[in-house]
A = this chain, B = another copy of it.
Amino acid sequence: MNITQFVEHSLGRWRSQRSAHHLIFSHFEAVQSVIDIVPLSPDDEEVINLCNSYDIAPSLAVSPFGMSWEGESDWDDNAQVKGSCILVPVPDPIIPNRGKLLRDQGYAETIAAAGDYHITEDGTFVLLTSYDRAAAEEKIWFANPNLRFRVSLIKTSEGSGVVTASFSSEIRSLSDNKIDT
């Protein structure tokens, strides 16, 4: 699995069931959402701007894509969860299946972020992102073409303490219907 294949497999609409474990308080959070992943053109102005903001030549970008999500959490009176971002993989020119992933908005903080990705032998996409006061580690893999899993860890910036661990089961939505809630 290379990054182009990984992005291709990810395109489409997904119904997501996410459980977050807030480890210090042993708290469980449940989130249901719909995630849309759409391809972007390498010529897209937002893609070019994002590359430029990291001093990376836009010609090095591969398979840029947009992601949006909308759902509900049981954390805070069924708070709405909603957002979108664009993501631009920039493969390492030398080492295969490794590179940077530029993002115009991170998960853990609402600022742009560049993470380091690699794809393991067994097809797991691993992304490590450092923020000012936190670090995030994400693993995404496919059980089959219509089912993918995602484990996300939010760590302290020192990297060893895990504050939140979350797990998503994402099922490809074969209709255009929004999730039943």
Contacts and interface: CB of A to CB of B under 8 A. Distances in A.
Contact of A32 (B19, B26, B151, B162): B26
A177 interface: no
A117 interface: no
A122 interface: yes
A169 B165 contact: yes
Interface secondary structure of A, over-half rule: strand
A30 B144 CA distance: 25
A79 interface: no
Interface in A108-124: 120-122
A23 B149 CA distance: 12
Interface in A29-53: 30, 32
A111 B124 CA distance: 32
B26 A21 contact: no
Nearest to A30: B28
Contacts of A179: 26
12 contacts: A17-B23, A23-B169, A23-B171, A26-B179, A26-B180, A28-B30, A121-B121, A144-B160, A147-B162, A149-B151, A165-B167, A165-B169
Closest 3 CB pairs of A and B: A167-B167, A19-B19, A21-B169
